[in-house]
Each structure stands twice: as C-alpha cells, then as structure tokens.
Structure 1
C-alpha cells in the first residue's frame, strides 16, 4: 500500500467521525467494508443442538466485528467506549429474535483482525476477551479495515476522480508497481481472517461459528458520482475488490468448518447507487448511518439471514 493512501485514510477517519462526535459526545475512529456460495457446514456440537424440526437453542452469544457489524449511527447509538455501536445492529436483532440469555457485543468501528487480541481503544478490551468455553454461538465479520483496503476505496480513490473522470485512475495507481496492491492485500486478509476463526474455535470449542460476509457497496452497472464519487471506470474496480474481500471471508469460513452468511448475494440491487440502498453514500446522516456504512434496513436483512441459518 502506498504511503499516500495511508496518510489520506488517517485524515479521513478523523473527518468521518466529526459528525458523530458533534451529535453524541466523545471521540472515536472508524472505517470498514464480500462471495456467492452456499453456507459451509459447521461440524461442532452446537450446530446440531436442535432436534429434527426444532430450532437450535443458544444461551451464550458473542458478536465480533468491525463497523459493518457495529453499524455506527443506526438508531439507537451506543458510544461504547468509542466503538460507536448501534443497539439495533444485526447481532442485537439476532439475540432478541432467538431469545438468547447471555449476549455480548464486542463489535467496534474501525476494528482490524489484530484487535481481536489487543486493545483497539483506551479502555476497550480485545474482542477475544469475551470468548469463554461456555460460549455456544459466535458471529464474526472482520477484515475490511486490514491494510486500509476499505479506507482506500472510499477515502483515497474518490480524490483521484478529477484527474480522469471516465477512466480508472485508482486502479491504475494501485497497479503502478506491476501488481495490484489492493488485491494482494485482500489475499493476506483471507489468511488473517482464517486465523481469527481458528482462534475462536480454540477459545470457545463448543460454539457454532458464523462468519458474516460483506454487502455489495458499488453497483455492477452504472455510476452515481453524487453518492459514490469514484471515476467511472473505477466503479467496476471497486466491485472487484469488494467481491474479492467477501470471498476471502467465505474461504476463511470454509477452511475452518464454520458457517458462512452470504450477504453479497442478498444485497444485489441494494448497492449505494440503487433505488433501495442498504449502504449510505458519501454524506453522513447523523440520524440514519455513517457515510459508506449500513443503513438499518441492511442490518435487519443481515439479521434475517443469520436467523434463517440458526433456526
């Protein structure tokens, strides 16, 4: 990753949270952001807890993830030590729908895979601290912030549009050294997410593990520079990176015999440019969603996918 995108992303992170800080108080950090396939079968005991025709019952659920799990600014907002977590994000909806006795949500905006085992923010414990042997359900969605992949796509790449509005200035810069830096970073992300899933199983060996993929952010066809200000040719590049990222999560789930929730397929025709978007565009709406982050309807849809898998 070139140093220019990294510097720009740090500046973007501060700007992204300015609106949230004005509305809610303390400071924080953010930035986050997918595979067509049937869910991988889980082999642990929790996966087969229910009898034939009966839903499996879960008593101790832990949710792990980044801002696509935390859902910053989706009402109602819990500052959560700087993690900016919605009380109506998909883990909260799942816990309510399944009447789960003990629910712990450790998702945090801006989280990377490293934040599973180290403190992301002062006073915020590593997400893995919530994992114990008695946990019987874990959902996890992580990886979009590693190597600033998501921040580069929605933060740095739009600044290149003016140089070539109908071309592919972002893709060209990412390939300037002879390889595609973003796609190479995503490949390393797959290995990191796989290690995260394996470590969850070590800490909570009786848990059913569900890896939740990312949604489609950019449209497969067309552009909408007022909402997603990428150069016209870079919209297709964003779809490629977005898809490769969610494939990385799917592969990490399959390689560890975990379940996978295919949000990518479910979110088709709900990209930023669509008439029924699940993801907010470039402008933060303090009453609905952080820019480039899920609306409440996306969280409801993802919760439904998870519930369907678990029932």
Structure 2
C-alpha cells in the first residue's frame, strides 16, 4: 500500500469517525512461525533497516532522521532491535520511509518533506544484518481500507445493518466471480519482491536477511469493530484475509530467497486496532496514542522488535 494516505474521509462524521491519514503497511498470515534461528549468535552489525511506514513508525515520538517526510521514529522496531543488540552509530542505518514501495528500494523516493535516496544505497559488502518490511503499498492496501471504511459508513447511513455477518459491501467492489483484484495485486508483487531480495543478496552477500511481516490490523475472529473502524463484519473478514494472503506471499518469497521470515501477525493477535486502548498495537482511524492512523503505536513497534529479536535468537524484553 502507499503508506501515506492523506485524503480526509468526508461523510465519516455521520459515524463520528474522521479518517485523516491512513498509512498502511500490510497484514499477517497467522500461521504461527516467528522465523527460525540457526543457533548462531545474533549479528552485531552493521545493520540496515529497509521498509515502509510500518517500519518507520510515523507520528511516534521522537521523529528523527532525514528527510523529515519519511517520518521515522527513534522508537520504531529497527531502533529497538539495534538498541537491544547494542548496534550503534554508523553501524546502524534506518533508511525506511513512509509511503515506500518495492520500487523505492532501488530508486529515490519523493516525500512531502525531502527526497529519500534509494534504500539499497545503504547496503554494502560489510552489512551483516538486514530487515525488510515492504509490499503493502504495492497492492494499494491503504486505498482498500479507505474504500472499505467509506463503504461501511455509507452502508450504515443508508440503512444497512450489521446483524448479517456476511454483509460485505466493500468486498463486492473487489471480488467478482473468480476475479479477486487484491489477490491479483499480491501475485504481481511476488516477482518484484523476488528481484528485490536477489539485489539485497548481491549488495550485502554476508548479511543475514529477515523479511518482516505485518501485524494484525483487525480481529482474527471477525465481528464488529464498531466506531473504531466503521467496517461491516463481512469486510473485517475480507481485509483480514487479504492481510494473511499478503503475509503468506512474503513468507514464501523470503524462504525461496534463503532469507528468514518474521511473523508479527501471530504475536499481535488480540492487539489489533479494534482491541482495548491499553493493549492495542495498531491505532484505529482516529489514534488515541501517538501514531499514524491504522499504524503501529510504540507498543506495536516494541512487539515487532521482539518478534525480530526472537527470530535472531536474541532474548527480547517482554512487550
């Protein structure tokens, strides 16, 4: 998805919800694995973090780095991993950027405040650890969520109820017969990611590479997200299933490239945007904690860091 979606959602006021900015990275597969370790000690750097806004941590204090438009937090999961592994100074380079697609790994990315150089430029033969959190913007997942929220608002305003769990007005826009538009986009991303991981291996041949999946945005048991997300139960299921499909592709592609996959979906179940404010990892449409709309808060970034550290064979602190 293009992680910075800055269009407001007019009409959501009817439900008491205002969508001011959606920057979405992508979902989870929920198949249980958190990446495997080979028993070796975690690398101590140099460490390069590549990725989109789910990696960068927009709106989470404190924001640092250049360009400012990438909205990186010094409490995002790469920073927390580097802190835990005691990787400091020039041995840690976080070049993630809100809005990044796979294409922005190899080309400069324009932001609202400056240009982020190609993320691959941070890699070198001396790099020993690489994390990659990318792919959601390539399938336009933020736009999918925006449309589903809009559909849910209009559905309720025009008299639709939420009693029927099968009601999914947004899904009907994307799925017709055997044609699933979102699934097609996920399939198209597969080859792009394969080439990107091949390039990571070429530029950083001695590095251990970890592809980081996306945490759960919506509940795993379906149901009504209420005013927090303004989605029908059927569309909650639809979006959740698309997240799982995306994460499954990321896992398969990582394993095919000889990289490790980090599952952040499983540990984040029950901490989605519809869960209790004091336990959620993902903020809802109107954030209650410092974070971008429908993005990880600091608790979520800590949980993602713990998942990465577990995959590295380190011993993370409890979230």
Give TM-score, length-normalised by structure 2.
Answer: 0.81
| Structure 2 partner of 1:80 | 66
Give the CA deviation at 1:152: 2.4
Q: Taking structure 1 as reference, are residues 273 and 297 closer, same or farther at Cα in structure 2, changes over 3 Å only?
A: same
Residue 104, structure 1, aligned to residue 90, structure 2 = no
State how far apart, in whole Å, the 2-side matches of 1:129 and 1:165 are.
51
Q: Does 1:137 align with 2:125?
A: no
| Pairs within 5 Å for 1:79-228 | 80-81=66-67, 82-101=69-88, 102-121=91-110, 122-148=114-140, 150-161=141-152, 162-163=154-155, 164-166=160-162, 167-176=167-176, 178-221=178-221, 222-228=223-229
Instruction: Tell me the number of residue pairs that the alignment of Structure 1 and Structure 2 aligns.
Output: 282
Structure 2 residue aligned with 1:63: 49
State the Cα distance separating 1:67 from its structure 2 match: 0.5
* Further displaced range: 135-144 or 169-178: 169-178
CA contact (8 A) 1:93 1:303 kept: yes
Partner of 2:254: 253
Please list every run of 5 or more consecutive structure 1 residues that lacks an aligned counterpart in the other structure: 1-5, 17-27
Change (3 A) 1:243 1:269: same
| Partner Cα separation in structure 2 for residue 66 and residue 88 of structure 1 | 15
Contact 1:40/1:253, CA 8 A, preserved across alignment: no
Q: 1:13 aligns with which of 6, 23, 40?
A: 6
Q: TM-score, normalised by structure 1?
A: 0.83
Question: Is 1:242 the counterpart of 2:228 in the alignment?
Answer: no
Question: How big is the shift at 1:219?
Answer: 1.0
Structure 1 residue 41 displacement after superposition: 5.3
Unpaired stretches in structure 2, ≥5 consecutive residues: 10-20, 315-319
Task: Check whether the contact 2:22–2:294 (CA below 8 A) recurs between aligned residues.
Answer: no
Change (3 A) 1:61 1:245: same
Q: Which residue of 2 aligns with 1:230?
A: 231
Report the Cα distance in structure 1 between the residues aligned to 2:3 and 2:57, rounded to whole angstroms.
20
Q: How far apart, CA to CA, are the structure 2 residues paired with 1:124 and 1:165?
A: 45
Q: Deviations over 1:266-302 (max 9, x none)?
A: 11111111222110000145x6111100011111111
Match of 1:269 in 2: 270
CA distance in 2, matches of 1:141, 1:87: 17
Shift of 1:224: 1.5
User: Among 292, 295, 299, which residue is 2:301 paired with?
Assistant: 299
Q: Which has the higher helix share?
A: 1
**Backbone CA RMSD of aligned residues:** 2.5
